[in-house]
Structure formats: structure tokens, C-alpha cells
Amino acid sequence: MEQFVDYYAVLGIDADASHEIIKSAFKKLALKYHPDVYKGDDAAERMRVLLKAYQTLNDVEQRKSYDKQRAEHVLDGHHGQSQQSPQSSAQTQRQSTRPPAAARRDRSRHYAFSDIRDGIPVGVDLVDVQYTLTPLESETLRHRGLLRGVLAKTAEGEYYCHRCRHHWTPTPARGRGMSEKLSLPHVCPKCQAADWSEYLLLRCIHCCAIFESEQIRYKIGSYSYGNNLASELCPPYELFPLCPYCGTAHWCPTEESRVEELRVQVARRAASRRMLMMSLLVVALVVCGVVALSVWH
């Protein structure tokens, strides 16, 4: 049985959206999936779902039929309200926004749904490694949707490679006065990555799913993320026009800014190519004119 897909969530629109809104949302996401911008292996599949969502919701009869199916799968007929405390009600609301496990778009990564609040530390359990975020880090992840840094050891005291997920027991540092930072291994003993301790967490503002970027696990040498002792870290994250968990657009403020920058870069490159072609055409016309005059005389 084919998995049900919420096309409204795919386009990032409300269920009562007009045809103009549907068309506008589709155009914006289609531009984000431009081959010059999105280089993921699943680009074709994402674009297929996006196009199917637009075709279905843009057709009056197909949309009516789809809305009936969606009421059974997504809404599930639960419209009643119960008397709950404000805290319990808020927690229920957060849980109701999370799609079931079967609705995950990307099953290759682990997700956490930690309750992040400003001013308090929070723990994030991603199975392979657990993060303990400071109040400032929690606030950054909540409001920007992105947090990057260095985490060398797990809660059990083992070293953990964010590249290949390798765990190993640290070797005691030799000599006195050697700081913990300088005693870190230069490379991971398994994958030989020098940036093994760097991580980047992402968070969706809609479903509240927290996950770690997978791009840092690409083939060693494909990307250079910096050094684990460097003060500035490169951002090892993929391009996500849609949240990989709930499939909703506009899911991360930082990601939105980055996508917008890439769109501008694509437009600039296209403009540069047009100018180059026009310049070559002008040069060709001038050369042809000079040759024609020389032959004429």
C-alpha cells in the first residue's frame, strides 16, 4: 500500500489555500529544487512529489477527492476538545503536530523531540550520541533552527566521530599540563577525518524534530569542514527546502536565508552567462563585419 502524502504540508500551505497561493508556493519550491541549487540524490523524487502535489491541489475535482482521503489519514476525525491544564494542553498540541513514524520522509537519520525553552539547558538524544545544550545553545537552536560546534566525547566518556559514527575509548594524555582540547586525537582512527568532532544540529519549527546533518558523512576529501581545533567551523549541512521529517516548507529560519542566498547566486550566474553570450555575439558580428569589408575592398 502506497504511503499517504500530505500535499498541503509538501507545499507548506493551509488546507483552505486559494489557487493563487498554491501556484505561488509551487513556483517558489520549484525554484529551490533547481539543479543548480539542489544537488541531493533524491532531487528527482522530491520534484516528482512536489509536481504531483501541485497538479492534485490545482484541479478542483482532484482536490475534492484528495481532501476526503486526507481527512481519513491526517485529520482522522478527531475534532473534540478536552479539559486540560495549560501545560498539558501545550504538550498535547506539540505532539499533535508530529507526524507518525510511518510519515517520515527520510528514515536514514535519527530524530529527537526535546522540549526546548529559553534560559534552561536541554538534552538531545540522537541514539548514537547525546547532546547536552547550554541555555544559550538551546536558545540558538530554537530561534535559528541551526546549531554547530564541537563534541568530542559521549556521555559515557568515549570519543565519537560525527563522520563515521565510530566510538572508541580515549587514550590517556601523556605529560602534565596538557589541556583536554590539545589532547584530542588529530584524526578519527577509523575514517581518518580531521574534522571528526564537528557537528551541526538542525531543528524544524513545525514538527520540532531535531536531527544532525548527514552531509558531514560524505566521502572524505569531498568537502573540507575545517579542523577540530579551529575557532571557526565550516557549515557541513545539506540543502533542505523541506523538513526531512514532516516534509514542510519554511521549516528553518537559517535554512531559508541560505536558500535565498543560493537563489540570488543562481540568478547572478545566469545573468553573467547571458552577458557573456551577448558579448561573444557582438564580437562575432564585429569580426564578420571586418571580414566582409576587407573582402569588399
Burial class (CB in 10 A: 0-12, 13-18, 19+), 79: exposed
Q: Are residues 124 and 193 in the same domain?
A: yes
Q: Are residues 115 and 246 in the same domain?
A: yes
Cα–Cα distance measured from residue 271 to residue 277, given in angstroms and rounded to the nearest whole number: 10
Cα–Cα distance measured from residue 179 to residue 75, given in angstroms and rounded to the nearest whole number: 55
- CB 153, CB 159: distance < 8 Å: yes
pLDDT attached to residue 236: 47
Residue 183, in any domain of the structure? yes
Q: Are residues 245 and 267 in the same domain?
A: no
Cα–Cα distance measured from residue 56 to residue 113, given in angstroms and rounded to the nearest whole number: 32
Cell 563585419 appears where? 289
Give me the sign of the Cα torsion angle 85, 88, 90, 95. Answer: negative
pLDDT attached to residue 105: 55
Q: Which of 235, 251, 267 is the last residue of a domain?
A: 251
Q: Which of 214, 229, 251 is the last residue of a domain?
A: 251
Domain span holding position 282: 252-297
pTM score, whole prediction: 0.53
Cell 544540529 appears where? 201
pLDDT attached to residue 26: 86
Give residues with Cβ within 8 angstroms of 147, minimum separation 6: 133, 137, 140, 141, 200, 201, 203
pLDDT attached to residue 117: 82
- What letter does residue 133 receive in the DSSP assignment? E
Per the structure, the count of domains in the chain is: 3
- CB 212, CB 245: distance < 8 Å: no
Burial class (CB in 10 A: 0-12, 13-18, 19+), 156: exposed
| Main-chain phi, psi angles of 218, to 5 degrees | -65, 170
pLDDT attached to residue 215: 61
pLDDT attached to residue 42: 73
pLDDT attached to residue 91: 40
Q: Are residues 217 and 140 in the same domain?
A: yes
Q: Are residues 140 and 280 in the same domain?
A: no
pLDDT attached to residue 134: 92
pLDDT attached to residue 85: 34
Residue 186, in any domain of the structure? yes
Residue 64, in any domain of the structure? yes
Mean pLDDT by 10 residues, the chain (297 residues): 78 86 85 70 79 88 88 54 35 42 59 85 88 91 89 87 85 55 76 84 90 64 45 52 80 82 80 89 88 80
Cα–Cα distance measured from residue 118 to residue 138, given in angstroms and rounded to the nearest whole number: 7
Cell of 267: 540568478
Q: Are residues 146 and 285 in the same domain?
A: no
Instruction: Tell me the three state secondary structure of residue 1.
Output: coil
Burial class (CB in 10 A: 0-12, 13-18, 19+), 205: middle
Q: Are residues 151 and 258 in the same domain?
A: no
Q: Are residues 241 and 148 in the same domain?
A: yes
